[in-house]
Every structure is written in structure tokens, then in C-alpha cells.
Amino acid sequence: MKITHTPLIPEVIVFEPEVHGDTRGFFVESFRDTWFAEAGLAVTFVQDNHSRSRRHTLRGLHWQDAHPQGKLVRVTHGAVLDVAVDIRRGSPTFGAWVSRVLDDKTHHQLWIPPGFAHGFLVLSDEADFCYRCTDYYDPRGQCGIRFDDPRLGIAWPLDAQEPILSEKDRNLPFVDDLPATALPTIPHVALQKAAS
């Protein structure tokens, strides 16, 4: 397992498992709790989710306020562009974002800490997106911002194609339209290990 803290936002971490393949197919170890200790994190997962979406579907950018979730995300079929945005009040990287293509070839996974907005765009005909969460989903605590917020300037590979959005995501506010109190604060849990 290769563990890489992203240069721009070290709290966002890429996990690159070793893929063992031959003529029969492949084998990959998709989770081990010791990886998080190696990355300097103490987390416990309580819920797994799985979604399927078709090409050009864009889900996000979402977070939960009352029950913030850290997420370990991966794709088991297809490919997506996955994006994590730092929206933590007082963060030195507020408004910065990290993106990574996640697919069923490399099996890379992305750790998105609590306090980050998260979203993804489907790049393949369809994609199965799986994520492991550190807190339970709470529909009363759903929050979100627009995927095309000009302040964030996320480089979604859409060309002239309009993304497929839910009605809820289509009507999300821009980050500057939210009161500061609506944004998460920086958690008091720090990385125990320097970025590598």
C-alpha cells in the first residue's frame, strides 16, 4: 500500500493498493485499518455506501454539519473524477480543492476528512462508487455548494456537456452566499505524521 498526502491539502490522502492480476482476473486488498495508523489518523468507520451513476452524472458538492463524515472513497466499476474541497472556516487552504481520477483499473482510494465538501463526476458509461464513512448519514444535516462555484474554479472535464444533476444539487448556493456559521470549523484532530 502506497500512502500519499496530497501536496496542496495534506489532510486529503491517496491510498494506492497493490493489485495482483493474472489471466483469471485480479485481487486487491481494499481496506485495512492499519493503513490509517500509518497515515497518522485515528478513525473508525460506521457505515458503507454504494451508488451507481451514468456518464456525466455529477454528485456534489456535499457535506454534513451536525454529524461530519470522513469518507474513504473508491470506484469498483468505471471511472470518476473525485473532488474534495476545503470549506473549513479559518483553514489556510480554505477554498482549495484536490481532484483525482478513481477507477476500477488502479483501485486508488481517496480519504476525504470531515469538514470537506465532496463530489464526483462520472467519466465512464456508468460507475459504481463506494465509500466508507466515519459517521452515519443524517438527512437533516445535509449541506452543499454549487459544483460550478466560480470562487472554487473546479476544473470539471465537461467540455460543452451539461452535467446530469439532481434538482437539489442544481439549486445549491455558492460558498459566498452562505453565512460563515454554516461552514464547518477545523477539527481539533491533527495529523500525527508529516506529509510525505
Measure the CA–CA gap between 152 and 182, rounded to whole angstroms.
17
Burial of 39 (0-12, 13-18, 19+ CB in 10 A): buried
Distance CA 170, CA 148 (A): 10
pLDDT of 191 higher than 70: no
Q: Are 131 and 72 in contact (CB under 8 A)?
A: yes
58-64/116-122 β-pairing: antiparallel
pLDDT single digits (tens) 125-174 = 999 999 999 999 998 999 999 999 999 999 999 987 899 999 999 999 99
**44-182 to CATH, choices 3.40.640.10, 2.60.120.10, 3.40.50.620, 2.102.10.10:** 2.60.120.10
The whole-chain average pLDDT of the chain stands at 91
Confidence (pTM): 0.90
Closest CA to 60 of 76, 84, 79, 78: 84
Active site residues: 62, 131
